[in-house]
Amino acid sequence: MPTRTTTGVARLLAGAEQLLPDLAAGAADRERLRDLPHAQIRALARAGLFTFRIPDEYGGAGSSVREVIRFVVDLAAADSNVAQAVRPAFGRVEGLLAGSEEERKTWFPRFLAGHVFGNAGWETGGANGAISSRITRTGDHYTVTGTKYYSTGALYADWIGTAALGDDGEKVFFTLPRDREGLRLADDFDGIGQRLTASGTTELDGVTVHPEEISARAAGDGRSPVTPFLQLYLAAVEAGIARNALADAVSFARERARPIQHSSTGRAAADPYVRHAVGEIAARAYAAEAAVDRAAGAIDRAWEAGLTQETLTTASIEVAQAQFFAVEAALKAAELVFDVGGGSATARVHNLDRHWRNARTVANHNPRYWKAGVVGAYYLDDAAPPANGLF
């Protein structure tokens, strides 16, 4: 468990309090105009907001998982595109916490210096999760060639983590500087939502990889605390979207909406059905945050117990439950936003549809019905969830 400092966490939260209002104020227009948030992500990095979990002995705050996930919800409520784009940075810290001391000494200082980390992960054209990129030993270094079609946050990053198959057919994970010769990034992500996550194509054309840029392989096939953390991160983004939908619903009902012709009131905010819609959005957003917060506690308990397979399995199940509900809550909340206004609520200038598009896009990372099925199997037959990157 990372060594924690109360003052360190408070300092980071104070920085977030300064930055998030401005981030939220421009989020809808940035997405509508496709204005990539380079400056906003750099500001988060300079404020140290990717370093919550770095232990005190390395210069970080050593926060709990619960504390950092609460921040992620706040960040996603301000701008879910930004929250999703920086997910690789938070995931990388978790990986380092579970990894070697040598790698922590190498990479934590870069986080603390304000560097941004992205990834170049999934490929297309083969089975889900399959890798065709190859990395080969070439004298005193390695050479990698391949194409990655989903590269979350890479356009914003100083460092890009990725993987390829080595000469022995095993996965090799490594991290490259963004400006390495032969590494090309394309801003060609065309999803319906989360359009500013910069999750486009990364091409690796004979790129040099130095031995110190390769990560040590984890031993065995046991569970890792990184996987439930990254899955819970997705649920936290959904919870933030639900909260953001609530804020827009309240604002639109108060400031723009007109009551329908046969309403019993003279203003939309007093209409009983508008109030019901806003109340339902609020309840769903509240419950999504509560579910995410509870699941974060399960990951903290796994760390406290020494990351046993039992506690990690429990954490994975709790996270899957939170994910299922957070997705449902965000999608429904995003739909109900339109029940607080008439036809004008669909005007593009308001960009209210972004809530549903963004929630739907995050949800499609992992089918929620599989989450429910795996949880059901656990309760009915004591069946452990799959030991892969989705649980």
pLDDT at 2: 64
Q: State the pTM of this model.
A: 0.96
- Residues in the chain, overall count: 391
Tell me whether residue 158 is in a domain.
yes
Evaluated on CA atoms 123, 125, 130, 136, the torsion sign reads negative
- Residues paired with 106 in a beta bridge: none
Tell me whether residue 391 is in a domain.
no
Tens of pLDDT, residues 48-91:
999 999 999 999 999 999 999 999 999 999 999 999 999 999 99
95: containing domain: 6-116
The two structure tokens encoding residue 257: 């909406």
User: Looking at this protein, which amino acid is placed at residue 119?
Assistant: N
Q: Which residues contact 199 (CB under 8 A, 6 or more apart)?
A: 85, 150, 151, 152, 153, 154, 189, 191
Q: Which residues contact 167 (CB under 8 A, 6 or more apart)?
A: 136, 137
Instruction: Based on the fold, state whether residues 233 and 356 are members of the same structural domain.
Output: yes
Q: Which of 116, 150, 181 is the last residue of a domain?
A: 116
pLDDT at 220: 53
Instruction: Based on the fold, state whether residues 98 and 244 are members of the same structural domain.
Output: no
Evaluated on CA atoms 2, 87, 325, 317, the torsion sign reads negative
Instruction: Based on the fold, state whether residues 190 and 232 are members of the same structural domain.
Output: no
pLDDT at 5: 65
Cα angle, residue 54 at apex, residues 25 and 177 outer, rounded to 5°: 75
Our count of domains for the chain comes to: 3
Find the DSSP H helices in the chain: 6-25, 27-33, 38-46, 65-78, 80-85, 87-97, 101-112, 226-255, 272-304, 309-336, 354-363, 368-381
Instruction: Based on the fold, state whether residues 288 and 165 are members of the same structural domain.
Output: no
Ranges of the chain whose pLDDT falls below 50: none
> How large is the angle between the packed helices 65-78 and 272-304, nearest 10 degrees?
150
Tell me whether residue 155 is in a domain.
yes
- CATH of residue 140: 2.40.110.10
Q: Which residues contact 231 (CB under 8 A, 6 or more apart)?
A: 316, 319, 320, 323, 366, 390, 391
pLDDT at 6: 76
